[in-house]
Structure 1
Amino acid sequence: MKEKQQIFDLIKQYDDIIIVRHIRPDGDCIGSTIGLRDILRASFPHKQIYSVGNDDSQYLAFLGAEDVVDLTNVIAQALVIVVDTATSDRIDYAFWKEGQYTIKIDHHLRVEDYADLNYVREDLPATAAIITDFWFSFKEELLMPQSAAQALFVGLVTDTGRFKYRGVNSLVMRMAAELIATDIDIVDIYAHLYIKSKESFHLQGYVLNHYRTSPHGVAYMFITKRLQKKFKVTIEEASALVNTLDSIKGYLVWIFFVQGKEKIRVRLRSRFVDVNELAGEYGGGGHRQASGATLSHRRQIKEMIAKADLLVKQYKKDHPEVF
């Protein structure tokens, strides 16, 4: 509670607040950013509160836009809050350090304390859960507009795999209930998040027919630029299909390699096996069972698969009952 109180006191102290997040934003990232921004705007209408970032995600556009504004004359006197970003090199705002005071709010594994105040809750499965808990702690003074509730619900849903992953407990479900109580339209939310284009389904069918496997239990697929062009999908649409391989008996790790303009995006997922350290070897990270990374060369694909295969082999040796 001490850190939450410090954050709340700082929010009340500053008239200019800038909320930033990580590159390649996902649902929890955008949900936390817009959720926190709209809570603070509704609660402190006299303050100037912005959420900024360069990258966007078209599938999250229904949550509303971030702010396109020149903050050159504001940043030096502002409170900067960085959400859902484990390491400073992934912050999608070059001038964040120029803020008068900086706060990090995050739920990923604690690897870098880059802000003046670092509030990290590894016990919660999404940064949206941290923001919702923060609102609940100061409910007497903070408002929850419907736009914020919708954004935070999206963050909870996407980072918990629709409430399927570890870390989901009764507290998280109560948070979801509080957000739903604002009369958000969850049918509309799920439609925006999970309805796919016909082209994506065609690529998904191709993946199911052409994915490859390692000796001990890694399923993987390399989505080349040629395949993206053939099936008329974006790199984001291709990456979103990673969990196509999530339910194959005996295959505890599944990986999507998606070729970009210069580098290869990696989406690492698993049951039981910790893949975060492996992602860290390739400039990435995230969660124990859901991480991302970036490869510079195609030859690194084979190397990463071999390392993942060894992780699965060891896990199966230690846990012979696993499936």
Structure 2
Amino acid sequence: MKEEILQKIEQYEKIIIHRHVRPDPDALGSQGGLAAIIKASYPNKEVYAVGEEEAGLTFLNRMDDIEDHIYEGALVIICDTANSPRISDTRYASGDLVIKIDHHPNEDPYGDIIWVNTEASSTSEMIMDLYLSGHDHGLKLDESAARLLYAGIIGDTGRFLFSNTTQKTHRYTAALLETGFSPSEIHENLYKISEKLVRLNGHVLQNFSIVDDCVGYIHLTKDTLKEFNTNASEASLLVNSFSHVEGLLAWVFFVDEPDQIRVRLRSKGPVVNKIAAKFNGGGHPRASGATVYTKDETRSVLNELRNICREYKTK
């Protein structure tokens, strides 16, 4: 599969790279890292990275603003996106050929070529794998690409704390660091936090609830976000605020947006992406996102979470 993808990259003169909406470090890291590798390896190719920007992550990579006609005869590569409705910029379907590169379960097998590896810690790790497969054929990894892939890996492994971190993850990280970028710059920018978010975090720690002795939840309403002068994207960064509470198996953050409610599901064992799939979402078995529209639906999500935790405890 990697060989086929490398052949297509070499074949096409225009390459447009997408990723999912509401991008996280792995989405931007894999997208931008792949773009940087292709640009360094094939200086004469037209390579674009597209999608909406996340204000707090623009230090990683900025998006290209391209016109519709650029898609004519172009290779489109979509990184880190399990489901086609979550692809940022729907023009991806206007390209000549679509490649999917992802590490989420392949529940929506869109694309002409599909490379999915659920064993990978991140899609950024997969892009490093792709680079190593093509290194002997002239692929180049420069400092800018390594910086982005590093950001994606530490983002999806929780700075190597999550169980998806493997020996391969550390080997690849070591190889990335050899290019000479500053990891401290990445860490400082990824994990800095504003005073207003610190104060909101205090509110979360004071007000989250636990049911069945193992399921945590909180709903941050529009009024709460207004009180702390924060938005849904900022508030969602606090999803793991109370994750280390003893006995907690899974938890859910509900965060109000103007016309919907953002749902962030996390787990230490129970599989939560099946719940997310029922509510307009998806993701990893232990880290998923979804969207609901009413308080009744938030109660339904919570009940689903309680049920799978009960089942998990009886195994």
Kept in 1, the 8 Å contact 2:53–2:63? The answer is no
* Partners of 1:65 and 1:254 in 2: CA distance: 32
**RMSD of Structure 2 on Structure 1 (CA):** 1.0
CA offset at residue 167 of structure 1? 2.2
- Matched with 1:9 is 7
Percent of paired sites with the same residue:
37
- Matched with 2:65 is 68
Kept in 1, the 8 Å contact 2:267–2:287? The answer is yes
Give the partner amino acid of 2:280: G
* Partners of 1:103 and 1:305 in 2: CA distance: 35
- Matched with 1:205 is 202
- Matched with 1:49 is 47
- Is 1:171 the counterpart of 2:171 in the alignment? no
Q: Give the 5 Å matches for 1:120-269.
A: 120-140=116-136, 141-269=138-266
Match of 2:106 among 100, 110, 114: 110
Cα-to-partner distance string for 1:258-298 (whole Å, 9 max, x where unaligned): 00001000010010111110111101110000000000111
* Partners of 2:205 and 2:70 in 1: CA distance: 51
Q: Which stretch of the first structure deviates more once superposed, 188-197 or 90-99? A: 90-99
Gap regions ≥5 residues in structure 1: 319-323
Gap regions ≥5 residues in structure 2: none
Give the partner amino acid of 2:169: V
* Partners of 2:72 and 2:192 in 1: CA distance: 42
- Matched with 1:87 is 83
* Partners of 2:119 and 2:278 in 1: CA distance: 24
Cα-to-partner distance string for 1:152-174 (whole Å, 9 max, x where unaligned): 10100011111122221111110
* Partners of 1:224 and 1:308 in 2: CA distance: 20
- Matched with 1:321 is none
SS at match of 2:241: helix
Give the TM-score, by structure 2 length. 0.98
Kept in 1, the 8 Å contact 2:28–2:61? The answer is no
CA offset at residue 73 of structure 1? 2.2
- Matched with 2:38 is 40
Give the partner amino acid of 2:82: A
CA offset at residue 216 of structure 1? 4.2
Match of 1:78 among 44, 49, 74: 74
Task: Point out 4+ residue stretches in structure 1 off by more than 2 angstroms.
Answer: none
- Matched with 1:275 is 272
* Partners of 2:22 and 2:270 in 1: CA distance: 25
SS at match of 1:316: helix
* Partners of 1:22 and 1:147 in 2: CA distance: 21
- Provide the aligned length of Structure 1 versus Structure 2: 314
